[in-house]
Amino acid sequence: MGPLNIESTINLARLIEAFKEYQRKDIFNYCIVDNFFNTDIALKLEQEFPDFNDKMWHEYNNPIEIKKTLNDWNKFPETTYSVFKILNSNKFLTLLRKYTKLRSLTSDEGLNGGGWHIHKRGGKLNLHLDYNFHPKLKLQRKINIIIYLNSSWKSNWGGELGFFSNESSIKPGKLIKKIYPKYNRAVIFDTSQNSWHGLVGKVNCPSKQFRKSIATYYLAPAKKMTNNRGKALFSPTSDQKKNSKVLELIKKRSSVDEASLVWK
């Protein structure tokens, strides 16, 4: 495979077409792009994921999130490295700025919270609001792009991404949209509009299958009244609402200073 560029990597026509559905009235802005990557790129990205038990992963294993992540550029194989470079490039940013109408949008090349994500059977991710204020760049997180990369995924394995009504910054509303993690499907959404999202139930795949995705996030200058929360704010599930330990975990998980103490 030769050097990659945006035209050989991303189905730009599909991306531009999908943005026609981006502006929403009933929920925060989002769109879905199927066959986001060209076929050979998607296949190579899937193949480059590390083994689930590789020691390089960063593990979250607690009552509100069970998953593994990795955002170290030095650990990315050639195609993955090149694709993240393209997703953070000025050419791709120009497209995002045009179709999201966010003219000052910039990429987070450090992949804070992004990179590789993987869930095994039993994996979970409670509903949450993403961190709002980048702890180092002091910019507001605005746009998420998540692309799913398991070509064997079956509908009865769960793992759907849920989008919930956004009338409150304290708790999620009702389920508005459930998105199946279809292979090579990208989901693009504005994460700054009380954008409650998370996995709908636990992942139910076989023991040797995994819910794989890559993610990149994009930032913009914050307005004066922007909440400066530097970590995700989670919501308890219905059976966790009276559990004092889980509520204390959620409080600490949303703190930049204490989050690292409660990942496991």
pLDDT tens digits for range 71-87: 999 999 999 999 999 99
Question: Which is nearest to 169 in space by CA: 108, 233, 75, 222?
Answer: 233
- Spell out the domain ranges in the chain: 6-261
What CATH homologous superfamily does 6-261 map to?
q2cbj1_9rhob like domain (2.60.120.620)
How confident is the model over 178-236, as pLDDT tens digits?
999 999 999 999 999 999 999 998 999 999 999 999 999 999 998 876 788 899 999 99
What are 240's two structure tokens?
Answer: 């966790």
Nearest Cα neighbor of 180 from 207, 209, 206, 201 is 201
Per-residue pLDDT at 107: 97
Which segments of the chain have a pLDDT < 70?
1, 225
pLDDT on residue 168? 84
DSSP-assigned letter for residue 19: G
pLDDT for residue 3: 85
Answer whether 142's CB lies under 8 Å from 220's CB: yes
Cα torsion through 233, 237, 242, 244, rounded to 10 = -50
Distance between CA atoms of residues 49 and 128, nearest Å? 26
| 3-state SS class at 12 | helix
CA distance 12 to 55: 36
pLDDT of residue 1: 60
